[in-house]
Amino acid sequence: MITIIDYGSGNLRSAAKAFERAVRERGLEHTVVVTSDPDVVARADRIVLPGVGAFRDCQVGLNNLDGMWDALQEAVVTRAMPFMGICVGMQLMASRSLEYGETDGFGWIPGEVTALKPNDPSLKIPHMGWNELNLQSDHILLDGLKNGDHIYFVHSYHVAAHDQKDVLATVDYGGTVTAIIGKDNMVGTQFHPEKSQEAGLRLIGNFLTWKP
Confirm whether 58 is a catalytic residue: no
Give the separation between CA 25 and CA 19, rounded to whole angstroms. 10
Confirm whether 192 is a catalytic residue: yes
- Active-site option among 58, 87, 127, 158: 87
Confirm whether 198 is a catalytic residue: no
- Active-site option among 112, 158, 194, 198: 194
Give the separation between CA 12 and CA 35, rounded to whole angstroms. 10
- Active-site option among 127, 155, 158, 192: 192
- Phi then psi dihedrals of residue 97, to 5 deg: -115, 145
- The answer to whether the CB of 201 falls within 8 A of the CB of 23 is no
In DSSP notation, 19-75 reads HHHHHHHTT----EEEE--HHHHHT-SEEEE---S-HHHHHHHHHTSTTHHHHHIII
Q: Which residues form the catalytic set?
A: 87, 192, 194
